[in-house]
Chains A and B, each alone.
Chain A
């Protein structure tokens, strides 16, 4: 049954990175708009990661083409019925948008560093000044801000508004790109394994969960806050991921159950993960390691079961959960891209 697959690892990684970019910008936008001090690390980290992942993903997508140098033909033609055509335009819009959005969250010390290269130095120094965040601690280390009107007091008013508007737009744009990665697969009837809108929902929530995992790991590198800040931020990411991972799980279940109630083509296609070649990777890699184990660990932490654990142990659990989520998200896309190509309309 298994034959040569036209779409391989580059498409898998692209779908994964696209999802990470979409999820990062969405979480960043939400984090920024809440205007709470403990969300500023999420806002900044998500904003900086989004264009990087979208850029890397789009690069892979172009590199995977039979004629990479002809990629511009995607943009001399619009086919509204083709998910790939619309998706290409979305990706360009997302890349431009997320780059500007990232600039509004560029850490001041980065801006000052880039200013040394004598290219747009003036603008970068101005940006560094405008992006200087409100200090959350007084001299004795006590927290002084909670809810803030303006997390960046040095920004001119128009610049603050611009940042807010971009953060607001980041949310629907993130959803659009996150869903699009699933629609790309879901919109072709010839592959019954993919041909359901649930794939788009699944990819969106998997992307949100993976992005949360990424932020778990990376926020501390981009934002140095107080210990209390870090705890609150961890708590909110934990709660968010519990929601995402639950929704993801409750999309996978109906995806499989509904398939059993569908036509023979779909039932046969679903055998790929119910006894077929992708069964082990799907149930052990995606469901157990990527969803159930992180879910149980997050639940335990949410209800305070890890409070008595030594610091090093709870840190270890945090990292493990994040890594499992990220690995599970990748495997989900790997299974879908490959299993789908092994199925066909009977």
Chain B
């Protein structure tokens, strides 16, 4: 069975924010909100410093806490469509419990509509055979999206070649974003 994941190489990230722009344009994300974020940390001791940028977004967890706490079934995992964590905005009543339950703070609240929203792995583009907008636009190819159960995909090849880590595994979420660490 297909198992979709994103493999990220943070060392390649230039913090150009093209992924945020592409995502915002593609998904009509409200001003001031983002579906993908860029966490910046400094390494070293002054004045010998370097910057590291860590791209982040929804990890599309297998055991998603947001889905567990949702009282109306609005947050769900689309088991037939690739196992992504999705939001049925018809069913969302805007209680924001999912936002508190997400250890990655990957969700945002759309005040205007009164519902919570987040990354969908550009589900609508995948259906047309396209890659997620952030993946397509990234100039340094930080993000690679694909089926890691299929050994021929680029994502699976990267997973074979490199050591990767998942974020906050201790939270018991079973995330599907893999960060290259070597």
A: which residues have CB within 8 A of B? 6-7, 64-67, 70-71, 73-74, 76-77, 79, 81-85, 88, 187-191, 263, 340-341, 344-345
Contact = CB atoms under 8 A, between A and B. Distances in A.
A66 B100 contact: no
Among A71, A263, A345, the one with the most B-chain Cβ atoms within 10 Å of its Cβ is: A345
A334 B32 CA distance: 27
B12 interface: no
B103 A77 contact: no
B68 interface: yes
B97 A66 contact: no
Interface stretch (B45-53, B111-119, B130-138, B151-159): B111-119
A340 B113 CA distance: 26
Given A66-B111, A81-B68, A189-B65, A6 B171 contact: no
A6 B101 contact: no
B38 interface: no
Contacts of A70: 93-94
Interface stretch (B1-9, B18-26, B69-77): B69-77
Given A66-B95, A187-B69, A188-B97, 12 more contacts: A66-B93, A67-B92, A71-B93, A77-B71, A79-B73, A84-B95, A85-B71, A85-B72, A188-B100, A188-B101, A344-B103, A344-B105
Nearest to B96: A6
A66 B115 contact: yes
Given A188-B65, A190-B65, A345-B170, A67 B103 contact: no
B102 interface: yes
Contacts, number: 91
Contacts of B123: none
A67 B109 CA distance: 12
Contacts of A88: 71
Contacts of A191: 100
Of B69, B92, B99, B172, most buried by chain A (CB within 10 Å of CB) is B69
A88 B69 CA distance: 13
Contacts of A71: 93
Contact of A189 (B71, B72, B113, B171): B171
A4 to B, nearest CB: 9
B124 interface: no
B91 interface: yes
Contacts of B111: 66
A190 B103 contact: yes
Given A345-B103, A345-B171, A65 B95 contact: yes
A7 B96 contact: yes
A88 B48 CA distance: 55
Contacts of B125: none
Contacts of A67: 92-94, 113-115
Contacts of B113: 66-67
Nearest to B116: A66
Contact of A190 (B71, B73, B94, B171): B171
Contacts of B71: 74, 77, 79, 82, 84-85, 88
Contacts of B95: 64-66, 84
Nearest to B69: A82
8 contacts: A6-B99, A6-B109, A66-B92, A66-B114, A77-B91, A190-B100, A345-B103, A345-B170
B141 interface: no
A143 B96 CA distance: 56
